[in-house]
Amino acid sequence: MKKTLRYNYRLNPTPEQEVKLFEFGATSRGIWNMLLSENMRRYEYDKTFLFYKDMASVLKELKPFEEFNWIKAFDSAAAQQVARDLETALKNAFSKGRLQRFPKHKITYKKKKLHNDSFRAVNNSNCIRIENGAISVPKIGRVPIILHRKLASKIKTVTVQYRHGKWECSITQEVECKAALRVLKTITGFDINSKQTVVGSNGYVADNPKFLKQSKEKLNQLQRQLARRKKGSNRWHKTKQRINKLHGKISRQRLDFAHKISRQITNENDILIFENLNVKAMQKFNGSTVADNVMGLITQLSKYKTELEGKIYHEIGRFEKSTGICSECGQHHVLTLKDRNFTCLACRTYQGRDLSAAKSIAKTGELDLIAAGIVARVNPISQQKSAIKTKVFELSKFAVGSEKKVAA
């Protein structure tokens, strides 16, 4: 199985390249807005849309006209990508079960440094290459890149973006997953609580790091400072830019933390069970603590990492109750957010709220996987292999795994 992954790299464009990159980003935004307006007009008129093919031919037709020289100057494959993205956004807005709204016009900021424009180039006939510390971007040239990690495979697309005052590019590549593990030795459930501490059913604990808290305090301080400044003044802009920069730092710190945690738990466990987080509901429930959503990030990153390793990632249902269930006897308890520990009413076991939640997540996940026929519990002593079926895994080393079950 192959997976398409994204890797981000920092770019160091020359001043001349930077001007061009800004221009390309703006062009990409301009094409989006123009095609969107056209779609809105049509939708008003007869409730129809332009599909990708139609939009691509609109672009082609406009190119020869002088007032559309700006499209001509742009990389044509990148222009087609904009049309593709818009088509996806329109389709998503109208497909059932999706929560996306009608796409919006992309806005611009008067101050250049606050932009987050981007454009995506496609590696047609190997036009995008990385050689001698530079990446060749169509119609831009060779832009110096910081290759902090090697490419995993051939480049598919490159998205060049300006975020939080810095240039970066995100390269998509196809990566081959490892063969699925035949013997899965550990199953662990993970609970991520409102304080963003990750707790595993095996006793693993990873605290929300202090540096994130510090950065956020700094952010609050700057936001108060911004409120005191006169809007639009020089000092206001200065503070605004510092806030923008800090946002970038926080998001990088958060991503780094999430990567490290997910890598560690993927390495240490064979089957990972998470809760399917209805993050939006959690946000309303807990307020700002969940707004910067580390837990969503950790589950997302763990998912692809386990898949790459040939391990199993499983999410239990969104409404499956996990908090307040005794890990020994399964008795339900109603806990408030303040109750960090509780004593079971039925069997009198004193336990941590998060650990017992993680244990119950692991238990539910295990039942799910067995019921779905994805894994079967086997006796670790009798190593006889039954007839090979696809997606039947042998499990061993279970605490109570002495009986042998065969999955359907």
Among 227, 281, 291, 347, binds Zn ion (CB under 5 A): 347
Residue 109's alpha-carbon distances to 26, 30, 178, 240, 331, in angstroms, are 11, 13, 45, 12, 56
Q: Near Zn ion by CB under 5 A, which window of 96-104, 232-240, 260-268, 347-355?
A: 347-355
329 binds Zn ion (CB under 5 A): yes
Q: Near Zn ion by CB under 5 A, which window of 141-149, 228-236, 306-314, 328-336?
A: 328-336
Identify residues 353-372 at the interface with Zn ion (CB under 5 A): none
328 binds Zn ion (CB under 5 A): yes
Retrieve residue 100's tokens.
Answer: 């996306």
197 binds Zn ion (CB under 5 A): no
Q: Near Zn ion by CB under 5 A, which window of 202-210, 235-243, 257-265, 325-333?
A: 325-333
326 binds Zn ion (CB under 5 A): yes
CA distance 38 to 83: 12
Closer residue to Zn ion in complex, CB, 281/329: 329
**Which residue is listed with tokens 């987050």?**
116
Q: Near Zn ion by CB under 5 A, which window of 75-83, 263-271, 312-320, 343-351?
A: 343-351
Among 35, 297, 344, 375, binds Zn ion (CB under 5 A): 344
Minimum CB distance to Zn ion, residue 331 (Å): 5
CA distance 334 to 332: 7
Count residues near Zn ion (CB under 5 A): 7
Helix/strand/coil for 344: coil
State phi, psi for 31 to the nearest 5 degrees. -65, -45
Among 186, 202, 264, 331, binds Zn ion (CB under 5 A): 331
Closer residue to Zn ion in complex, CB, 146/346: 346
Minimum CB distance to Zn ion, residue 194 (Å): 23
CA distance 331 to 335: 12
Helix/strand/coil for 224: helix
Identify residues 37-56 at the interface with Zn ion (CB under 5 A): none
33 binds Zn ion (CB under 5 A): no
Helix/strand/coil for 321: coil
CA distance 273 to 278: 16
Minimum CB distance to Zn ion, residue 191 (Å): 18
Minimum CB distance to Zn ion, residue 346 (Å): 5
Q: Near Zn ion by CB under 5 A, which window of 100-108, 236-244, 342-350, 376-384?
A: 342-350
Which string of b and e fits 305-332 if b means at least 16 CB within 10 Å?
bbbbbebbbbbbeeeeebbbbbbeeeee
Minimum CB distance to Zn ion, residue 316 (Å): 20
CA distance 398 to 403: 10
Closer residue to Zn ion in complex, CB, 347/406: 347
Closer residue to Zn ion in complex, CB, 45/350: 350
Retrieve residue 337's tokens.
Answer: 């957010």
CB 38 within 8 A of CB 50: yes
| DSSP 8-class letter at 139 | T
Closer residue to Zn ion in complex, CB, 227/345: 345
Closer residue to Zn ion in complex, CB, 87/354: 354
Retrieve residue 37's tokens.
Answer: 């307006």
> Kind of pairing, strands 141-146 and 134-137?
antiparallel
The residues of the shown chain that bind Zn ion, judged by CB under 5 A, are 326, 328-329, 331, 344, 346-347
